């Protein structure tokens, strides 16, 4: 199944080839070195005032923590994401040290997750971000600090054949990847 992005001008292969699968190799185990590599990529993302308001909880398949994260996935995500080699919970700081609202935290964390997904892709792994989660359940199950808000969960693993899925997960897996045309998202004409 070819999921490579069709682009009007070349982009980095690692960007063109990234996509979000639901079918993962259930025998694959992600190494500590690979996890460190993708977390380092996230760590070196830019952030407003270098505040780095992101926190990561890494749960590898088979661990107790993994069960706690998987219990907080919604029904659809819970049907496929636990097969991935790891689930990474991304949380963000709610306030600064002085108690004021941390307005850039979600944006900053998005940049860090983007880095994470691209580094994983470079390592031959695939990622799938999920906001279809019970945020409060995951927060509680992980015993997170009150000043942290769960943002989303990212699955990481080796992609497997689509036909090991059934139902809606299979249907979505075989859909072609689509995007708005550049003309629609670049205002006032073509670049
Ligand atoms: C913030 C965010 C939340 C998402 N939540 C879910 C989700 O709960 N379940 C799901 O199957 N995909 C989820 N996705 C994946 C998107 O549907 C996917 O990235 C998009 O359809 C583009 O497909 P691609 O990543 O394969 O290019 C999410 C992606 C992002 C960035």
Backbone angles phi, psi at 140, to 5 degrees: -70, -45
Distance 39 CA to ligand 1 centre (A): 20
Q: Is 113 in the pocket of ligand 1 (CB under 6 A)?
A: no
What single-letter DSSP state applies at residue 166? -
Distance 59 CA to ligand 1 centre (A): 20
- Res 2: pLDDT: 84
Summarize pLDDT for 69-112 with one digit per residue, the tens: 999 999 999 999 999 999 999 999 999 999 999 999 999 999 99
Per-residue pLDDT of the chain (191 residues), as tens digits, is: 789 999 999 999 999 999 999 999 999 999 999 999 999 999 999 999 999 999 999 999 999 999 999 999 999 999 999 999 999 999 999 999 999 999 999 999 999 999 999 999 999 999 999 999 999 999 999 999 999 999 999 999 999 999 999 999 999 999 999 999 999 999 986 66
- The highest-level CATH class for domain 23-173 is alpha beta
Asked if 93 and 103 count as a contact pair (C-beta separation under 8 A), the reply is no
Taking the CA of residue 74 as reference, the ligand 1 atom at the shortest distance is: 8
Predicted TM-score (pTM) of this structure: 0.97
Which of 131, 135, 151, 172 has most ligand 1 atoms within 8 Å of CB, for mutation?
Answer: 131
Give the start-to-end residue ranges of the domains of the chain. 23-173
Stated length of the chain:
191
- Res 191: pLDDT: 62
């Amino acid at each position: 199944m070819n999921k490579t992005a069709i682009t009007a001008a070349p982009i980095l292969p690692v960007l063109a080839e990234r996509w979000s699968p639901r079918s993962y190799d259930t025998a694959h185990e992600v190494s500590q070195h690979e996890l460190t590599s993708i977390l380092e990529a996230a760590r070196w993302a830019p952030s407003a005032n270098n505040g780095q308001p992101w926190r990561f909880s890494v749960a590898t398949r088979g661990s107790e923590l993994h069960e706690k994260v998987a219990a907080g996935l919604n029904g659809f995500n819970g049907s496929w994401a636990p097969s991935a080699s790891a689930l990474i919970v991304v949380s963000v700081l709610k306030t600064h040290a002085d108690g004021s609202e941390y307005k850039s935290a979600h944006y900053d964390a998005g940049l860090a997750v983007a880095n994470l997904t691209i580094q994983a892709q470079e390592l031959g792994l695939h990622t799938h971000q999920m906001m279809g989660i019970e945020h409060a359940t995951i927060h509680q199950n992980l015993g997170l600090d009150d000043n942290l808000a769960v943002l989303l969960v990212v699955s990481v693993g080796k992609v497997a054949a689509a036909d090991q899925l059934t139902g809606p997960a299979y249907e979505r897996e075989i859909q072609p990847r689509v995007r708005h045309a550049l003309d629609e998202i670049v205002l006032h004409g073509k670049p």
